[in-house]
Every structure is written in C-alpha cells, then in structure tokens.
Amino acid sequence: MLDCTDRHCRCFHRLLSTQALLYTEMVTTGALLHGDVARHLDFDASEQPVALQLGGSDPSDLAHCAQLAQRWGYSEVNLNCGCPSERVQRGAFGACLMREPQLVADCVKAMVDAVTVPVTVKHRIGIDQLESYDFVRDFVGTVSQSGCSVFIVHARNAWLKGLSPKDNREVPPLRYDWAYRLKRDFPHLTIVLNGGVTTTGQVLHHLAQVDGVMIGREAYHNPWWLSQWDRDFFANEQTLPTDGVATGLTRERVEQQMVAYMDRELANHGTPWPTIARHMLGLRHGLPGARHWRRVWSDASLKALAPERVMALAHGED
C-alpha cells in the first residue's frame, strides 16, 4: 500500500471505522535512521489504533526503529516479509527474507526485547514457484520461537522475478487453505488472512477458520465498505451502534469532516487539499453522479479554491 495509506488516508478511514486496526505504508529502517523521523512517523491521535510497518533486515536497526515507533505512540510494530518489489529486494528485505527464517527470528527477537508493544510479521506463503506448505509452516514455526505470536498471511506466493508488484497481487494463485492449515498447526498463534478479500461474506467465511482478516486494496478503492465494519465485525466485542445512521455516519457527513481536516492541514502544515482528497475518491463508488464528483475532487486546476468551494462544485452547486 505504498503511497496509499499515509496519515491523511488513515484519518479518512478512521472516520469510517472506529475499531479496525490501521497500518502505515512500509517505512524502511534506513528512512528512519538517516531521514526525517517526524515526517515518517508523525500521525494524528485519532488514527489509533495504528501499527507501524517496518522494512529492514538488520536486527539492531529494527530494534532501534521499533523503539522509535513505541516512543511515537504506535500500537504495534509489523515487520514486512511480503513485499516482492525489486527495489525492496535490493535492500535485502521484504519477501526475500522468507528464505532466511532464522534471520527473521533474530530481527523479531531484537524488536521484542526492545519494546513492550506487540511485534508482528506479515509474509507470503512462499517464494517464486516453490509450491510447498512445509515452507511456510517451517517459516512460521521458526519465527514464532522468537516471541512473535501474530502472523499476517498474504495467501499467495511472491514471485521475485518476472512479475511487477501489481501482478504479484493478482497472478500467483490464492491458497486460503494454507492459512487455515497454519491456524490448525499453530492454534496458540494469531493468524490473520490477507489477499483478494472484497466482501463481507468472504470476511465472515474466513473468520470461521482464522483469527482476523486484513483488507488492503478493496478498502482503499471502496472505502464506504469500512462504514459497515464496526457493526458487522466488532459489535459482539462491545456495545456499538447497529448502523451508521445511528451515529450520523453518511457519505456527506464524512466528506464534510474531511473538508474540515483539509482546512486544518492547510493552516497547520501548508498541505494542499489535493494531497488529501486523492484518498477519498472512492467514497461515492457506485452512486449516481460519482464520476462528476470524483472528477471535481481530482481536478488539480482547482487547487487554489477552498475545499468548501470544491465540495460545492462536486455536488453541482453554483
């Protein structure tokens, strides 16, 4: 979700679901060790609970960055062992780390020893054309001995050569049954399934087999779906409203809240509204007039206008 789940996107998504755990885009250890820490780690308190996803392969560097995450107030630190891009491979982290489960275990152990917040791992089920459940089972078994109890399983292989990151999300076949088998083989671990999930029915089906489901692209492109999550997936855990109407949650209300957020960001940080608006372009997905609404909010030639004015134009008001 690089260039997608920045802090503006997360503030938007938090308006739609108060309960879902949000994740940052992957931040490399190098960016935190040698770059602008505040730019990478700053977030709004309203985003909580939010997890920082790290990319790296050096235990001491990851431990230091995990400490930064805890100091900044993140609820969880997640190590990415699933990204297949060649740029990430050149940095010797991401999905290629699955070839070195003991190194991943050492990285996790260093982070677990350094912080008190949970340390989790996101990974694929295999690498390239290696089709073996034993591979991912042994990976999880080795890494879990280092103190990691939560594994987010993208249920596809990562093809490190010959496929783009986009193709890697679509071409390798999904094997949800392997994630189910991991839960059966490691009942004491929390297994979260990821990959290709687009409907509430699918989520509920998977939750009968595993402990959680991570949603990526569908949540970004069809964000109004999130407005149902508190009711559909969290209502049994605490007292929550049974529908969005009871809380005043409508697309129009969310849009108004985002306009107010744009005003604050411009005043406080000089952030132009198009930088924020791009994340909410799917809000009216499937509704009449959605194309016009989306076209107005994505029109950079209007960036000199106040967000309130752009919203009026998007709804056809003079």
User: Distances in Å between the alpha carbon of 156 and those of 69, 126, 196?
Assistant: 29, 7, 10
**Residue 303: how many CB atoms within 10 A of its CB?**
13
Q: Which of 9, 83, 107, 148 is catalytic?
A: 83
Q: Where are the beta strands (DSSP E) in the chain?
A: 22-23, 27-28, 50-55, 76-81, 119-127, 150-158, 190-194, 212-214
| Token pair 């009871």 in the structure block, residue | 246
Q: Mark whether 96 is an active-site residue.
A: no
**How far is residue 253's CA from residue 248's CA, in Å, rounded to a whole number?**
7
- What residue type is 259 in one-letter code? V
- What distance in Å separates the CA atoms of residue 262 and residue 273, rounded to the nearest whole number? 6
Span between the terminal Cα atoms of the chain, in Å: 36
Q: Which tokens hold the place of 242? A: 């049974």
Distance of alpha carbon 6 from alpha carbon 11, whole angstroms: 9
Active site residues per annotation: 83
